Amino acid sequence: VVAHVQPGSLADRTGLERGDCIMSVNGEEVYAPQHLQKMLSRLETNGATSIHFDLIRRREMLEKNLLLDPKAE
C-alpha cells in the first residue's frame, strides 16, 4: 500500500496515490513493500524503458504505465 507520494518521485510520475495497493509490476506479483523496492531497483539496473503497474484504488482495478527517462535522476 502506498503510504506517501513524494512530488517528482517515480510514484508521482506514474500517477500513484496514497492508499493505492500495487498488485503487480510488469506482470510480476508484489507480495511485500521490500519486494516492490527490489523489483523497481532491478528494472532500473536492467535498463527497462517502461514499467507497468496493476493496482487497486478505492476497490477499482487500475493499470498505470511509466515511460522511464534515462536522463532523469
- With beta carbons less than 8 A apart as the criterion, state whether 70 and 46 touch: no
User: pTM for the complete prediction?
Assistant: 0.78
Over the stretch 6-64, which tens digit does the pLDDT of each residue have?
Answer: 998 888 888 999 999 999 999 999 999 888 888 888 887 787 888 999 999 999 999 99
Q: Please give the order of strands across the beta sheet that includes 50-57.
A: 28-29, 21-25, 50-57, 60-67
Buried b (16+ CB within 10 A) or exposed e, 15-30: ebeeebebebbeeeeb
Q: Can you tell me the distance from the alpha carbon of 61 to that of 58, in angstroms, rounded to the nearest whole number? A: 8
